[in-house]
Each structure stands twice: as C-alpha cells, then as structure tokens.
Chain A
Amino acid sequence: MSAVVERPRTTGAPLAPVTAPPRRRTSPERVAAGLTLLALLVASVLALRSVDLDPARMVQSWSNAQRFFGRVGAIEFPPLGELLQLTALTLGLVICGTLLAAVLSVPVAVLAASNTTPGPVWRATARFVTVLARAVPDVVLAMVFVLLFTLGTLPGILAIGLHSVGMISKLFADAIEQIDEGPRTAVRAAGGTRLQQFTAGVLPQVLPSWVATVLHRNDINLRGSVILGYVGVVGLGMQMSFAFKSLQYGLGLGYALVIFVLCVVMEVVSSSVRAAMLGVAPTGRGLGDRVVRGVTRRRGAGRQGAAAPETAGSAAGSTRASGAGSVSAPAAASVSTDPTRASGTPSAAVEAALRRPWDRARVRGVSWGWAAVAVVVASVLVCDIAWSDLLTVWSGVPAVAVQFWPPSFGSYEASTMLAAMGETISIALAATVLTVGGSLLIGSLAARNVAPSPGLRGGMRLLLVGIRGVPEVILAIVLIVVTGLGTQAGTLALALGGVGLLGKLIADSFEEVDPGPERALTATGASRGQVYASATLPQGTRALIGHTFYMLDTNLRAATLLGIVGAGGVGYYLLNASQGSNYATVTAIVLMILVTVLAVEGLAIWMRRVFR
C-alpha cells in the first residue's frame, strides 16, 4: 500500500521526468553486486565488438546467401520410409533418455530438498550432483559413451539421461521444498513412516510438476539430439551432419526442416499430455498450450450437457450437497444411524460404491495412462537397446579412462586454448546482451499490461513461440551457410534463439507484477510509457536480472556446443580433439568449460540472493 501512495507523489511533481526507479537501500554487498553487473555489461559490449558483428558485412553476405541458396537448389528429403524410421528412432532415443533421467532424478531430488533430505551432507552431495550433471554438456557425455559402446542407441540414451538429471532433479527438488507441509503432517500424525509420509503426503502434491518438468525436458532433449548426431549418436541429427559434411546442402536443410517440424509437433503433444493426464487446464502461453486450450474449450461445452444424467444416476437416495458448503443440516444425522462397522458386512451403498464408476475423468485417466505405457514400450523397442552392453561395458572402462586422464592440451598451445575459451565466453556475453535488448522490446510488447493493443500482444507472443520452435543448432547451421564459419554465426544464433526464451520469461514476469502501482500512476494521468518506466519496469527488474543470468548460463553452455557445428569458440577444438582421439585434450577442454560454467552459476546464485 505504501508504494501505491508514494508513487503518485514522485511522478506527480510537475516537469519531473518519469524515469527514476524507486531507490533501494544500498548495502556494501549490493554495491559490489552492482559493480559486478556493470563490469559484465562493459565486458559484454567489448565482446560484442570482438565477435565482429558487422551489419554492413552481413548485408553483403546476404547476397552471398542468395547466390548460395540458388546453387543449393530445392530442399531435398530422404525417402519416406527411411525418414519415418529415422524419426521414430530419434523420438524413441530422446524419450528413453528423458525417462532414464526422470527415474534417476527422484532419489536425487528427495536427497536435495531441504524438507525430505536425511541430513545436510546428503543434501550438499545431491545438490552438487545436480549442478555437475547440468555443467557437463550432453555432447561430452555422448563422446565418452560413443567410445565405450561404439554402436547403437545406448550412448545417446545415457548421455541425455545423465545430463538431464541435473535440470529435472533441481526443479523437482524446488517443487518438493514448496509443498504444503499439512498433508504430510497429517500422515505423520496418523502414524505413517517417513516413506509413507513421502508417498502419501508429498508425492501426490509434486507429481504434476514432475510430469510437467519431464515433458518440458523432453522437448529440450529433442532439440539437443540434433547436435548429438555430430558426435555419432544415431538418428536424424547424424544423418543431417552427414549430409552437410558431404556438401549435400539441400538434403541437410531437408533434415533440418523435418527436425523443426518435429520439435513444434512435440511441444503441442507434450502440452496436450500435460493437460489430459493431469486434468489441469494448461496455463502456459506456448503454442501447444494454445492449441490444447482451444480444443478443451470446445469440448467443455459438450461435457456440461452430459453431466446432468450422471448426477441423477449417482444420487441414489444419499443426501447430496448442491453447491459449496450447502449441505442440509440433517445430512450427518440421517446417515449416523447406519451401524456399519469394519468388521460387519458392508451396506449395499458401500458395496455399490466399491466399484469406481467409469466416468469421464476415469476413462480419460486410464486411457492416457495406457497411452503413456505404450509410448514408453514403443520407445524402448524402437531403440533396440543392447542390454548386455550395460554389463560388458565395465571391462572397457579402465582402458577408456586411461585415455582421458591426465588432461593435457596436447599439440595445442595453452594460450590458443585459453583464447578459444575466451572466444566462447565472448560469444555468450555478446549473445546475452543482444538477447536482453531484443527480449526487452519484444517481451514488453508481449505483456498484457504493457502492449498497446491485444493484437500486437498476440502477434509478439506468436513470434516468440515461433522462435522457440527452432533448435539453436539448426539456426546456427543456417546462419553459417549465410555468414560463413565463425563467431558471428554463433552469436547471432544464440541471440536469436535466446529472444524466444527470454522474451517469454520477461513477458510473463511483467504480467505478474503488482498492478496496484500501475493503476495508481494511470490514475495520476501518466502516459502509457511513463507507467511502463516508473511502475512496470522497476517492479520487473529483479526478475529481469534473474532471467538474464539464467540466459548467460544457458548461452555459455550452448556456446561451447555451437563450436561443434563450426560457429566459433572452444567447441571446434572439442570436436577436433575427440575426432582425432586426443581424449586427454577433451578432458582439459571439458574441465575448462566446467570451471567457467560453475563460476557463472555461482555468480548467478549470488546475484539472485543480493537482488532478492
């Protein structure tokens, strides 16, 4: 309330520009964090210059691109049968990998959540596992597993599975920490064991969020499977990399298009699964959520008509509440005469109620459940997993491990490698600063409380969904075709892809700000722009900083990978080293990446704490 009262006073002063966000108390830590932010900003601007983003040259190269595409000719597709088989294989592999992560993440999350962990040591260990799993790129894991297993789908499944444990268990642990402790206490008060408290009091509360996280991760993994193809994981991505390597650009772009369509279809499917299995209306604003909402709205009209006979059928003499809390007083009294005890024979009504009616909810739940089982079984079958490899592989581990240790830069100069890592960091910083600029514009216009018209908002939201549908790797490959190899393509790919995510996050958090100050400013006669600058933006700053660091984090991981397709940075050396069997160099590069990623992660945690 105080903010509502204060804001009009500051903005109401005549001739005062409406730009100053509300002053915060400054502590030494805040000053330090602010200076760090400033230093990062300066570094980003410098990075922007170093990645030679030259608009003039880009316009030039656009004509190159036109000539190039002219030469490439039409986009080609492989034969339909092969395409379907590859698609099934890619989907099966990704789903198996995600499932593996989903299963592994449960114990990790339980240990990592403060309210379910057996002790602080367990908790710290589990948290470290989640951070480590996220920091090691799935491509690196795939490289190792390809070496160990050589053939088949297992390398991809294990790489996706182990890497995804990081994100899924972190979000799952956060969800566990946010539960309502009441139901759990109730089970405890009834004499339940710790395990029973978890399964009966905690799990039902977090299951929806677990399913949603797993489905979301599955979308991410599908996009990531493209790049796994470059290091020898079977599927569409591998065929695409072969096509590009053999200069069949038309075919390569054909694969890219198929993967793009697959990603969008997957988002729609996972959104419908989320809605149907959980029985909750989707609240997200993604493309899939939109479609599902549209469908359920249409179906909802039919359902209301069907509800009436159901109600009449099950009333069966028992007193029935109509509406909230309006049970007639004698309701309890009328049934209290029933002498049914556990030991005696159950009454007819109880006997009848023992059979759960096949109502809409149950039919839907059961059919979705079986569909899920079918998908899992089909995925496992299509992957044709060589289970015996899981046993025989261990004999090969020492031999491989020796190759990876000790780390060394091999034939490369240490300075070259550090420069390459610096280049990767530059790409990430430059891409982040570009992303923030673009997302602030598009994201703001996509927020309901900022957009001047619903039409513009809808358009911007659609644009964001479209951008998110394109895997960054494919974006990078297309950009490399346009601008040539190098940091420029990588930076632009990350920046563009980032707008899809950050724009959405910004729009969502702007829509969630307290509308009070905005209303107060509108009441004083402030213009739309003034309200945005003085009420919306200051309130959204905290979230903005958090999201920006998340973006930097993501971009850094992605920047290391983009090098693999030739978009600059340390990833190029990573791929070279692995293809040249210089595994000690792979280890050295991975350690470099690990340290950088962990440093940024630490910085992000600190920033989030300071600007809370």
Chain B
Amino acid sequence: MTPHADPAATVVALEGITKHFGSTVALDDASLTVARGEVVVLLGLSGSGKSTLLRHVDGLERPTSGTVRVLGREVTRLTGRALRELRSEVGFIFQQFELVPSLTVLENVLTGSLAAVRGPRLGLWSYGRAAKVEALARLERVGLLDRAYQRADTLSGGQQQRVAIARALMQRPQVLLADEPVASLDPESSDQVMALIREIAADEGLTVICSLHQVDLALSWADRIVGLRHGQVVLDTATEGLSKAQVMEIYGRVATSTDQFEAIELELTAVGGGAGSATGAATGTAPLRGDAVR
C-alpha cells in the first residue's frame, strides 16, 4: 500500500464497499484511499467493478455495505442539496462523453455550472455573462474555443471528450473521476485526451481517479495503479519502476486458473483485435449488398 503520512490529505476513502445488483456482486469488500493530488488508475477487465466504484465516489450509487468518505464528508449519508454540493466538487468524465448532441458546445460546457445556480436553464441566454466567460475560458483551455457555437454532435470523438473535460472543469472540482475516458477514441485522440487530463490535473492540483483497461497506458500515465477483479481490489501499487510483466504477474498470481489468466492477458493486451474482425465481416457482406442493389 502507498503510504499516506498525513491523513488530512486523504481526499477519497472507501472502506469495505460491497455492492449488489440483484444477485450479482459488483463490488466485494473493496477499499481504496486516495491522497490529494494523486493520479490513480483503476485497472481491470470489463465487469470488474471499476465503473461501479467510481460511481460510488460521486454518490451516483449507494453501497450495500461499507462507507464512502469524499472531501471529508460521508457520501453515504448525504442527501438533497448536500449531496448535490458534493457532486459539484467532483467532476465526472464518461466513456461516451454524454454531451447533449443537439446543443451547442458552449451550452454543454455551461451545464457544468448548473449546481452553482438555482433553477432550470435552457438556452445560452439563460446563463449569466460571467458563466459564459468562464465557459469560454474553459473551452480555450481544452483548445476548442473556435468550436463554441457549433452543435456538439458535429465534433469528432476526441473533441467531444475535450468538451466534456471543459464541462467537468466548469464545476471547479477538486476531484476528477474518469470512467474509461478514451475507450471510444482512436489512439491519437486517446493520447491527446490523456495528456490533457494529466496537464489539467497538475495545473489545478486535482485528484484524479481514472479507470482504464490498457496496462501500457496506465503504467506511463498514473502515479499509482489499483487492480480490480470480480469486485475485489487485488493490486495497489505505485507505478514507479514497475514493468508490464510485473503487473501481469500480479494478475497471474491472483488468477485462480490458467484460462482466467489468459482471458485477462487477452483483454489487457489485444485491444485492437475486435476492430479487425469487424472489418472482415463488413467486407464479407459487401458483394451481396451490391447484388441486391442491382
């Protein structure tokens, strides 16, 4: 475990979180402590509980048992305005960006400030000038100022994720959660987005918890890696001096059988495999389609 000398610096503390969805166990007695300014990656297969864990930090899920403390407050006890206040201090970045496609980029960013205002807002005119100036500055920060008045769905995936980052910054958060932020992006956009998150975290002194499934990326990007498997924390270590082989080895040790280990390795290393086979299927049907048109 990474040592935290000063307990006051602890920003996120999950203690013995168990979460059931019906009969499935999403999290099984998972604990995690993150200090201020740390950049942590949650590593694991899909279904290992990464997303569920992140959603607990933001109070989007309530644990079946265990406690969640974030920024000195017990999230599990918060309701109503207190819960919304906590959420506004925790930014969340989603795999699918979750922008409103029909709104302008600027208005999407402005929705990040909703917790700071009262009542509903619809349309650019309904936000004040100060909020607009701040939103435009956030857009400038992520390099998309010139796209402010375009519809969000006219942007590429990488650009949309940068807009989502600007929206999260609009909350003036202390903690930034990112759930597979680059899983839907091409490699080039992925690198940009990951670099941007790292830069902003450093500039603004943010604490970052980010879930990923690529070991390489996690090793080069994070201060610390937390491995999840079947809802349990099976690995928690600083990345410095750690090699990929070592990470795989740790995974291997906790895997109870060989094929489980192989499944992990397959998932963690061969990410591009799925796309290749999909292309093959598409070309396979092409001659038939041509026939039908005739």
Residues of A at the B interface (CB closer than 8 Å) are 180, 182-183, 185-193, 195-196, 198-201, 203-205, 207-208, 279, 314-316, 318-321, 323-327, 329, 331-336, 338, 340-342, 346-347, 349-351, 353-354, 356-357, 359, 362, 515, 518-520, 522-523
Contact = CB atoms under 8 A, between A and B. Distances in A.
Contacts of B199: 332-333, 336
B249 interface: no
A334 B99 contact: no
B141 A340 contact: yes
B112 interface: yes
B94 A182 contact: yes
A338 B142 CA distance: 11
B192 A347 contact: no
Given A191-B88, A327-B159, A332 B129 contact: no
Contact of B120 (A196, A205, A520): A196
A165 to B, nearest CB: 22
B42 to A, nearest CB: 17
A375 to B, nearest CB: 20
Interface in B125-172: 129-130, 132-134, 136-137, 139-143, 145-149, 151, 156-159, 162, 164, 167-168, 171-172
A332 B195 contact: yes
Nearest to A518: B292
A319 B94 CA distance: 25
Given A190-B171, A350-B136, A362-B149, 18 more contacts: A182-B98, A183-B99, A185-B60, A188-B87, A190-B167, A190-B168, A191-B89, A200-B120, A205-B100, A314-B146, A321-B159, A327-B143, A329-B188, A329-B191, A338-B137, A338-B140, A346-B136, A523-B291
B114 interface: yes
B237 interface: no
Mostly helix, strand, loop or mixed at chain A's interface?
helix
A182 B167 CA distance: 14
By Cβ-Cβ distance, the 9 closest A-B pairs, closest first, are A191-B115, A191-B88, A182-B98, A199-B120, A325-B156, A191-B87, A189-B92, A324-B156, A191-B84
Contact of B115 (A192, A318, A326, A354): A192
Contacts of A359: 149
B167 A327 contact: no
B96 A204 contact: no
A325 B186 contact: yes
> Do most interface residues of chain B lie in helix, strand or loop, or is the interface mixed?
helix
A280 to B, nearest CB: 9
B: interface residue count bin: 35 or more
A189 B58 CA distance: 7
B137 A200 contact: no
B288 A193 contact: no
B86 interface: yes
Contacts of A351: 133
A190 B115 CA distance: 7
B122 interface: yes
A519 B122 contact: no
B121 A199 contact: yes
A186 B94 contact: yes
Contact of B114 (A185, A191, A325, A354): A191
A175 to B, nearest CB: 13
A204 B122 contact: yes
B140 A186 contact: no
Interface string B74-115: 000000000011111111101011111111000000011011
A201 B100 contact: yes
A123 B83 CA distance: 27
Contact of B137 (A185, A326, A346): A346
Contacts of B172: 342
A198 B112 contact: no
A293 to B, nearest CB: 20
A353 B159 contact: no
B146 A316 contact: yes
A354 B91 CA distance: 25
B159 A332 contact: no
B6 interface: no
A129 B97 CA distance: 37
B234 interface: no
B96 A182 contact: yes
B124 interface: yes
A229 B130 CA distance: 54
B253 interface: no
A187 B111 contact: yes
17 contacts: A186-B99, A187-B111, A189-B58, A190-B168, A190-B171, A200-B121, A205-B102, A315-B146, A319-B143, A325-B189, A327-B158, A334-B143, A518-B292, A519-B288, A519-B292, A522-B291, A522-B292
B277 to A, nearest CB: 14
Contacts of B133: 342, 346, 350-351, 354
Contact of B122 (A200, A331, A340): A200
A4 to B, nearest CB: 9
Given A208-B102, A325-B188, A195 B60 contact: no
B223 to A, nearest CB: 20
Contact of B84 (A193, A314, A320, A324): A193
B119 interface: yes
B192 to A, nearest CB: 6
Contacts of B148: 353
A350 B139 CA distance: 9
Contacts of B124: 356
B84 A332 contact: no
Contact of B192 (A318, A329, A357): A329
A279 B102 CA distance: 10
